[in-house]
Structure 1
């Protein structure tokens, strides 16, 4: 079903791409846009994950450079019956994370340094499990391709604005400056609406499955609350530069200064937390209680080891320094 939805999404965004091309250059512009969109679709399917990781400056880590984080991802992947994804860290002060890849065999999980510094071990495990749930649910293909194509459409809309403002009266689209300005507004808007449609409903499903993978829905609920609080205060510069990728993160990484409440790519964090508390209650967990034996992500079936404070000492780093619990 996700492959079918991906095909529909690509077809819809291609049509929108052609519409912008028509407004810029008439029939010939639409045909050029069709050819470009076809090539872009193929490129996006095979390379969109690499593009998104590059946009956010993600660096791949291994058991030597980040042993504890890598081991956590490996153990949670095993619990989820998933192949081991590639693991990346983004040098970014905002706590956040996303998953990408066209299928579970070619997946990657990326977390920020801010996430590793701001959350305790249980909470990081909950976030990683949430991202693995997106991989298990085959969400990453459609989310990653949408980010790539929606970004291209937004750039094309900007090009349309400059093209129309340039006073090209010889084009045969008949819409002139008004049509061009309409597309400048509608193209990014349509892309944002698509992002809303594919992301909002999927976050609840990933929260639910992620809580089952980690065995600690309350830890994930706590992580969501902390990330949401800090994300409004700490800017994510790479996300601000590439807003079409915002729907991929576990919490909206944008600052809220550009109509984010109106065009939110995520459900309300309070609603997600409430759903996780209901899930915890249904399995007999209550706030402040340890996870039942057999529900933690660590080998041996115990609960996740506690690291104490949610915030490590000033200067903690996940980049291989032993001062940090992340290796």
Structure 2
């Protein structure tokens, strides 16, 4: 777990450095300072409002023990085991089996599951999935992923701005180098963001298994989700791919270079690690 945090910290430093570099390309030293201030403002906004925005985006409906006692009581039992405050519980009317957690901290967290995943998985498997999501809450992964996604998106916007408005002065490099950085920086930011997401998924699999006490249940759930999710599109995720990293399984149809640009580790590797954890 400590190793995951070290990797995440290094990756976060890299994505912030890219943000400053783009600002420097556009406006020299002053541009770098303005870019970092802009990034800080975006992160502050994301910290307070991103959870509400994502839940509204997916048309998630909040449930309680009277509306959905099966899911609500399962989450309550797991939250108690994890020594976490009870999060808000949401259901998303989507056929694709998937789930995610959101919120700025454990005291303001929410977990959401699609109707598809509730129908498809056994109680034991769904319990493993919800324990995984609560692990994200416990590890404060949601804040890290939100910041990385926000800064990565801002880098792309800044790069496009710089392509059209970047000028020349003594603080800026040669125009050819500027153009190269403007093209490559958004790609690099996306790769770093995906690496952060993959690192946190491994950690949540491990922590979630500790919470549920059943690594094999999560392994079985991941195998089922992977087998069915690819053939069931999720239109909201396709329209807002920046939210893909929040899900327990990549909801996007995807294409080439999948390993490099995937928001999640390979399902096979995740399952293998969970089986190894169960043996130990």
Instruction: Name the CA shift for 1:202/1:4 in 2 (closer, same or farther; >3 Å).
Output: closer
SS in 2 for 1:186: helix
After TM superposition, the structure 1 = structure 2 runs for residues 39-118 of structure 1, keeping only pairs within 5 Å, are 39-118=41-120
Q: Which moved more, 1:236-245 or 1:82-91?
A: 236-245
Distance, in Å, in 1 between the alignment partners of 2:69 and 2:31 is 52
> Which of these residues, 237, 244, 249, is aligned with residue 242 of structure 2?
244
Structure 1 residue 4 displacement after superposition: 9.3
Distance, in Å, in 2 between the alignment partners of 1:10 and 1:213 is 27
Distance, in Å, in 2 between the alignment partners of 1:192 and 1:252 is 15
Distance, in Å, in 2 between the alignment partners of 1:81 and 1:211 is 14
Q: Which residue does the alignment assign to 1:183? A: 182
Structure 1 residue 130 displacement after superposition: 0.8
Structure 1 residue 38 displacement after superposition: 2.4
Q: Which residue does the alignment assign to 1:132? A: 134
Distance, in Å, in 2 between the alignment partners of 1:265 and 1:251 is 9
Instruction: Name the CA shift for 1:56/1:15 in 2 (closer, same or farther; >3 Å).
Output: farther
SS in 2 for 1:64: coil
Q: Which residue does the alignment assign to 1:230? A: 228
Distance, in Å, in 2 between the alignment partners of 1:201 and 1:34 is 25
Q: Which residue does the alignment assign to 1:123? A: 125
Structure 1 residue 258 displacement after superposition: 5.1
Q: Which residue does the alignment assign to 1:142? A: 144
Instruction: Name the CA shift for 1:179/1:114 in 2 (closer, same or farther; >3 Å).
Output: farther
Distance, in Å, in 2 between the alignment partners of 1:169 and 1:206 is 41
SS in 2 for 1:256: coil
Matched, 1:15 2:20: no
> Which of these residues, 258, 269, 272, is aligned with residue 270 of structure 2?
272
Instruction: Name the CA shift for 1:126/1:72 in 2 (closer, same or farther; >3 Å).
Output: same
Distance, in Å, in 2 between the alignment partners of 1:259 and 1:47 is 32
SS in 1 for 2:277: helix
Distance, in Å, in 1 between the alignment partners of 2:7 and 2:54 is 20
Contact 1:24 1:180 in 2 (8 A): no
Normalising by structure 2, we get a TM-score of 0.83
Q: Which moved more, 1:103-112 or 1:202-211?
A: 202-211
Instruction: Name the CA shift for 1:259/1:47 in 2 (closer, same or farther; >3 Å).
Output: same
Structure 1 residue 176 displacement after superposition: 4.1
Q: Which residue does the alignment assign to 1:313? A: none
Q: Greater helix share, 1 or 2?
A: 2
Question: Between Structure 1 and Structure 2, how many residues are aligned?
Answer: 276
Instruction: Name the CA shift for 1:22/1:72 in 2 (closer, same or farther; >3 Å).
Output: same
Structure 1 residue 225 displacement after superposition: 0.6
Post-superposition Cα deviations, 1:153-194, rounded to whole Å, max 9, x if no partner, equal 33433x33xx63x5x585544554763354233224223324
Contact 2:7 2:199 in 1 (8 A): no
